[in-house]
Structure 1
Amino acid sequence: MVRPTDAREKGDRRSCRSTMDARCGDGEAHRVAVAVLYGSESGATQGWAEMAASKLRQHGLDAHARRLDDEGARALAVASNGRAWTLFLVSTAGKGDAPSGARSFWRCLRRKWIPNHLLRRAKCAVLALGDSAYLEYNYFGKRLHNRLVKLGAHMAVPLRLGDAQEEGGHLAAVEDWLDEARRAILDDLGGRAPSWREETPRYRVVVHQTCDASELEGDETELLREPHEAGAAFRRLATWAPRLMAEEDLAENEMEVLAALRSTERTEREINVQVKSNECIASGGDVPKVHHVVFTRDPGEVQATSERPVDENESRSEMHRTDTSEEGKNGLVYGGGEVVFDAGDPSANGRTFEEGQQDQATDRVLPMYRAGDCVAVYPETMCKDVHRLLDRLRINGSYLTTVQLNPEHFGRCASEPPPPIKFIAPLEVWFQGALDVGSAAPQGSFFEAMAQFATAQHEKDRLRLLATREGHTTRTEYCDGERRTVAEILCEDFPSVRPTMPWLFHASPRLRARLFSAASAWADSPSQVALTATLSEWTTPFGRARTGLFARWIQGVKRGKVVRIEIVGADGDISRFVKQSLHRPLLLVATGAGIAPVRAFARERLLLHGSTVPTAVVFGCRRRQCDFLHASAWASESQLGLFRHGGAFVLACSRDGASKVYVQHRIKQHARRIWDFTKHGGCIFVCGGSTTGMPDAVALALEQVAQQVGGLSQEESRSWRQDLVRKGRYCVEAWT
């Protein structure tokens, strides 16, 4: 977050607050601030929160969107004395867990020693956004609402559950809920309606018709040359918000609330890494492309990597050199005493966590991560999409462009003005690193902003329709379902629109991080983290072939490229499962790119326990020669003893034989071995796509194992598996 300038140090903040009413004027909101707090997994809920704050500012209220982990504790502290309203917009992650950006706050809010009257004077409202097609529909929003009520908060607006399946979608839910919240705030102000003001763009963007940076450099300017630098700077500007109140201005009871809810955890932070390797490890025929990417924080490791290009056919043939014994033909590739690889010294490779922690202080070591943690990668917009849009707008992309926060956007009632720092970069670099104009479908606010720049009346009318709830169905078919991008919309469908750069920066979707499970162990190499990702390709309802932004970008990323990432700690079910499974037998079931966290679990267990704790892996792919991922690594780890003491590696290839064989078939085939795992306190982790019904099929197969080998009835086997879930010994990580 951007730091306050020297002119806004402690002594000035207090005087600024004392003159706030004078700045606001008699007709304004008189410092009843509104904190719009969000927790968002994909970025969509953040967009709705920013739209809600914008609407409230138009009604003259001091409202700004803030991430729950950043400002949730302070907002509730100020609200506990009636000096602010807190509006929560949250989505749900995983199996009812807190979304990204709200996890630390949620853990603090659930502290058992917090008194139930802590928030008795706080005025709050919660909007949960989700999709009723999912079992855990808006579950986190309900939990948050109930917890606030238990702590004594006054819920001035009833809990609203926004459903993407309803007519009008999330837009209708946000608008209705926001209207109720605004009326409640006005009632709290005694019915005095603050003066209306037009919304202004968040950023001041100036395109200089020069490429010479020496003409523009100054004391409060920062020159950027690379897309990852521009992206990081833009995210700092995009997430800045005036503080509700400085700590020295908080009352004693407000400080108590802040102390009770403040987190001492390490928050995720962006870091620069270099690409050490980027290999396509699966492709061909009906097999989707899969890339394995290794990032490193140590530049020396990149320079030491061989320059010889990897021959795809050569690497794949080596990768798939597997057991040809009878057990191997039946799917048991490596395991137990039948393994064809000699067991080596388990301590011969890798390092312990204690050894790795000694390097934590160096700037070449990544933050510590564990199996189940994720890597958030910031991709870049493709150059051809950027150039297409800039050519349409008739602007030279190489011109240096200054971007800074616009004080008018935050209003006169803001507790502090935005910092005056300016970032300078070529215009095309801003678009590549900060704005998603070539992949994401924009929200309704984009069409509302673009309507003011349309010169053709029919285009203006259509843009306004797409921005309303009445046009929700049309926008879903035209934009969301077809994934129409900013570049396509402006270049193909609305040629009369010529937006100014401040509004284009303000309304366009921002580049979001893509989240992947770590496919490596930190203790193995503290400077590196790896991911295994399936490249997404699909066909839209109107038959248009589409490829995801990350898929297009990663295929062109070369070794040595600097990339911006975050290490995101596991939460909820996975975090609990990691603790439960640490010293227990472990069964890992995965399909496709779901092998990534399985690789991390297996490697970490080998480093921590050697061959003393049984581990079994059941992996499903289509063809052994095409997408048996990390086969050579599994062979190496088998030699180190990973699959001793009853462990095994079982392969299920669905397209190699006359009949299709899936992971659930292998589970039933090796029922005795798997039952022995669970009977001795074992844990089960299932990871992969859910569109084929794999997680449910695996659950049913395990219940059948309990019936066949354990002698349980159908009802008892179901209760047995549900008991494993309750104890944290059964975890499913699936996606659509």
Structure 2
Amino acid sequence: MAERLRFDTTVLDLDSIQVRDLLKYSMVIFAVSTAGQGEMPQNARLFWKTLLSGALKPGVLKRLRFTTFGIGDSSYLRYNVAHRMLCARLAQLGASLFCERGEGNEQHPEGHSAGFREWLVPLKAAVLSAFPLPEPLEPLADDDFIQPKWMLAGRAVIEDQSPPISAEADGTGHHVKDYVEDGIDHDNPAGPDEREAGPSKCLFPVSDSYSVFIDSNKRVTFGTHFQDVRLLDLRLDREYKYGPGAVAVVYPKNFPTDVNDFLDLMQWQSCADHPLDVVATGGIAGQVGSPSPLRHLDLADTTCTIRWLLENVLDIMSIPRRSFFANLAYFAGTSTEDEVYQRDRLLELTNPELIDELWDYTTRPKRTILEVMMDFTTIKIPWQYVLSVLPIMRGRQFSIASGGKYMHDRRGRTRVQLLVAIADPPSPIIKYRRRYGVCTRYITTLQAGQQINIGMQQGYLDVKPTELEVPVIMIGPGTGLAPMRSMIHQRRAWAEELDLKPAGKRLDGDLLFFGCRSSDADDFFRDEWEQLVREEGLQVYTAYSRDKTQSKQYVQDLLRANGIQVYRTLVEYNGKVYLSGSSGAMPKGVREALLDVLEKEGTMTRTDAEAYLDGMEKEGRYKQETW
């Protein structure tokens, strides 16, 4: 939008810019999501810390003209809080809004894009009002193609017709060696399709990553259960200290069959394996240019090709957004009847007034970009533009399930365990092709002895040894159990190391509420809990929602059923609550159950109970990690 109004634009992560640099621009538009309990996301933490510095005096940003857009989800209690805090702090430092802030809600049928699209209308008007174009300049029309800031360009060796890069090489010319250690459990059930070749085993060269060896990749749900849940056991190549709530970032890869299908559709097979460079198309004098879309990768020892990008970087198996169809429309022809029809269809899918068309075509059937291109066969994306047309495949975060004695193996190496539910959702529309979660499908192919690169982040729960002074209520239905398991074993280890609680009572007073479908399908780590109940005083309550021998229950039902104990833990013992699992109805249901307990078991009114929980949040005694 800004470029169509003739602005030179720069797009940066918040952590990559200095506060003083904000004053170099005519206007600044911030976009920020909310993480954890109303905290800044990972790539904005340093910027926010600097912005809160007492060294910044009021008025230091009085020349800054800005506006903000918040990306949030109203199923979270602290909806768009980080965005609102950022806006308030900038105003406190003297900056002025040139347009009212906007907010997007992921609970909308079209996600946060709906709120963003609505906000663009007043934003465009405000920009033109604050910065009118001089005569005779006019804004660029929506159907004018804007050259991207970064493109692919062939190296000179393309003209030399050099042989293609071997798919077996790891990017440095060396072949990947299998790593197998004595004692590794090689039991790894087959992935979604045993006949299908898995993704490349070459290491993905993501910056600031950790190389890990896969010790085992076991299914932990019963074979007859519909849901495949894996316990992925990893070993880091160097020491990394993490606490409960930390996350590992797994970078998925696309399957060769899908990559080849895309290459065939685009007619790129002849150039798929030729070396390429990512080149900037222009710069802005005196300003930092927009960073490369591959800035998160270390490509010094990697040969970049179209095939490599499709295998490792470009998310051709994702459900496309409206912007994808808008970009695709620039490459639509009008020479034949089919080309005109497909161009008109693309324009329908980009029309914000036809939201049902986009929903019915993409989200409802879970149609992927690859499948879209199977429909729009007359459109061929020039390979030079793929980085601006196709979305970048992002790493997926998984809460770490290990802690305490499970944090290191017998050889002293850092151990990371992940509890991963394999996404294999059915499509009510497309029957001929199965649906998969891009990353979890990749995870099913990982084998013992294989090496991959992962990211590591500390997360937002921020659990400390001093918390052993009070009991905790841990609530983790489904794979939300992962960080709770980490916390339980870590609290036990801290109690032993610091000699804060005697043996046999190191988890005395701690309550775990876990929810699953049935005792014979997905009752994760049941043997561990039974042992900790006997040996360390942990109290475990399990809700079965589909068990044949018990009535249907959820974690919120068990909270109410054990209300007296919950009340004493929260009020009399000043305990803490940790909640982890899927966002949506569950966190709201748990909060409602806690309000009922506070109201029923004590003397609080509903207003008092709500104020008490709000106070717990502000004090850091009520934390949740949901996704």
Same fold by TM (over 0.5)?
Answer: yes
1:620 aligns with 2:515: yes
Distance in 1 (alpha carbons) for counterparts of 2:576 and 2:73: 30
Name 1:448's counterpart in structure 2: 327
Q: Is the 8 A contact 1:675 1:705 kept in 2?
A: yes
Amino acid at match of 2:495: H
Q: Using the alignment, how far apart are the partners of 2:125 and 2:209 within structure 1?
A: 37
Asked if the contact 2:151/2:281 (under 8 Å) is kept, the reply is: no
Deviation per residue, 1:401-459 (Å, 9 max, x gap):
33323232546786579899795245333211101102342442454235424451111
Tell me the distance in 1 between the aligned counterparts of 2:271 and 2:448. 25
Residue of structure 2 aligned with 1:650, choices 538, 541, 548: 541
> Across the two proteins, how many residue pairs are aligned to each other?
562
CA distance in 1, matches of 2:109, 2:604: 43
Structure 1 residue 172: Cα displacement? 2.1
Q: Check if 1:151 corresponds to 2:83.
A: no
Partner of 1:483 in structure 2?
366
Q: Which residue of 1 aligns with 2:582?
A: 689
1:511 and 2:393 are equivalent in the alignment: yes
In structure 1, C-alpha distance between the alignment counterparts of 2:277 and 2:612, rounded to whole Å: 58
Match of 1:376 in 2: 249
Q: Give the structure 2 partner of residue 662 of structure 1.
A: 554
Render the CA deviation track for 1:206-246: whole Å, top value 9, x for unaligned. 394543559xxxxxx9769886878546xx7xxxxxxxxxx
- The amino acid of 2:307's aligned partner reads E
Please give the per-residue CA displacement for 1:7-64, whole angstroms capped at 9, x wherever unaligned: xxxxxxxxxxxxxxxxxxxxxxxxxxxxxxxxxxxxxxxxxxxxxxxx4345543312
SS in 1 for 2:281: helix
Give 1:626 deviation, angstroms: 1.2
Three-state SS of the structure 1 residue aligned to 2:49 is: helix
In structure 2, distance between residues paired with 1:173 and 1:578: 43
2:10 pairs, out of 59, 64, 78, with 64
TM-score by length of 2: 0.79
Residue matched to 2:306: 427
CA distance in 1, matches of 2:253, 2:391: 13
Q: 1:18 matched to which residue of 2?
A: none
**Residue-by-residue CA offset, 1:133-178 (whole Å, 9 max, x unaligned):** 7664433322211111111012222223345649982452363255
1:597 CA drift (Å): 0.5
Give secondary structure in 2 for the equivalent of 1:101: helix
Q: Counterpart amino acid of 1:538?
A: P
Q: Does 1:588 align with 2:474?
A: yes
- The CA distance in 2 between the partners of 1:365 and 1:181, in whole Å, is 51
Matched, 1:726 2:612: no
Query: Would the alpha carbon gap of residues 590 and 407 (structure 1) be closer, same or farther in structure 2, given more than 3 Å must change?
Result: closer
User: What letter corresponds to residue 77 of structure 1 in structure 2?
Assistant: R
Aligned match of 1:598: 484
Q: What's 1:464 paired with?
A: 347
Q: Partner letter of residue 536 of structure 2?
A: L
* 2:380 counterpart of 1:498: yes
Q: CA deviation at 1:609?
A: 0.8
Q: Is the 8 A contact 2:579 2:625 kept in 1?
A: yes
Report the CA distance between 1:696 and its aligned residue: 3.8
The answer to whether the Cα contact below 8 Å between 1:591 and 1:620 also exists between their aligned partners in 2 is: yes
Whole-Å separation in 2 of the counterparts to 1:561 and 1:471? 47
Letter in 1 for 2:366: R
Deviation of residue 721 (structure 1)?
3.6
Verify the 8 A CA contact 1:283 1:290 in the aligned structure 2. Answer: no
Output the amino acid matched with 2:444. Answer: Q
Partner of 2:195: none
AA partner of residue 486 (structure 2) = A
Map 1:549-560 to 2 at 5 A: 549-560=438-449
1:395 aligns with one of 268, 273, 277? 268
Q: Does 1:570 align with 2:466?
A: no
Residues 124 and 697 from structure 1, CA distance in 2 versus in 1: closer, same or farther, beyond 3 angstroms? Answer: closer
CA contact (8 A) 2:277 2:304 kept: no
- Seen in structure 2, the aligned counterparts of structure 1 residues 223 and 503 have a Cα distance that, compared at 3 Å, is farther
Structure 1 vs Structure 2: percent identity of aligned residues?
Answer: 22
Query: CA 1:141–1:83 in 2, change beyond 3 Å: closer, same or farther?
Result: closer
Deviations 1:508-541 (A, max 9, x none): 0111111111111277326222211222233456
Structure having the higher helix fraction is 1
How far does residue 671 in structure 1 lie from its aligned partner after superposition?
Answer: 3.9
SS of equivalent to 2:244: coil
Contact 1:129–1:138 (8 Å) recurs in 2:
yes
Residues in 2 aligned to 1:231 and 1:198: alpha-carbon distance in whole angstroms: 33
Preserved contact between residue 33 and residue 83 of structure 2 (Cα < 8 Å) = yes
Distance 1:462 1:704, change over 3 A: closer
Deviations 1:368-405 (A, max 9, x none): 22111222211111222112111223333895333323
Q: Indicate the residue corresponding to 2:56 in structure 1.
A: 114
Residue 194 of structure 1 and its aligned partner are, at CA, apart by: 9.7
CA distance in 2: counterparts of 1:685 and 1:507, whole angstroms: 41
- Measured in 1, the distance between the counterparts of 2:403 and 2:72 equals 33
TM-score by length of structure 1 reads 0.68
Change in 2 beyond 3 A, CA 1:144/1:473:
farther
Residue in 2 aligned with 1:199? 146
